[in-house]
Amino acid sequence: MCRYNSNANSDATPSILLVDDDETIRNTLPHALREEGFNVALAQNGRRAPQRSRHRHYAVAHIIDMNLPEMDRAKLLSILKAKNPELKQIVITEYPSIENTVKAIDSGVAAYIMKPFQPTQLIAKIKKELKR
């Protein structure tokens, strides 16, 4: 049973592109998100994320690690936002700093979460952004 929207079909179900080089995150977080009724696609680095976006429209949220290999986070966010200006972007990082937080907010990021985090924290942020 889909917790987010029990009447949703695959076209109406929010899609999330999870971009993170941390294999543990890529292996565990999608399960929690799918349990909540979200469609989830994965990319392990900044180069693969735009490729995934070419094949599917992620209108709801992109969850992006601050320090991605193969492409700067700011450049990736810019590419993804150019494809979909309505995109909700949530950044997760294990390198918190005031400077990173300010940069993320200035680049249009909707939410900023520090690792380690509980999946429930992320799910709450996603749902909050979906209501906006």
Quick check: helix, strand or coil at residue 81?
Answer: helix
Q: How many domains does the chain have?
A: 1
Evaluate whether residue 41 is within a structural domain: yes
85, with CB counted inside 10 A (0-12, 13-18, 19+), is exposed
For 62, the domain range is 15-131
pTM of the predicted model as reported, rounded to 2 decimal places: 0.80
Distance (Å, whole) CA 86 – CA 121:
22
Task: Identify the three-state secondary structure at position 66.
Answer: coil
- Which CATH number do you get for residue 124? 3.40.50.2300
Cα(129)–Cα(52) distance, integer angstroms: 22
pLDDT in tens, 62-92: 777 767 788 877 788 888 888 888 888 888 8
Distance between CA atoms of residues 48 and 83, nearest Å: 15
pLDDT tier at 46 (50, 70, 90 boundaries)? confident
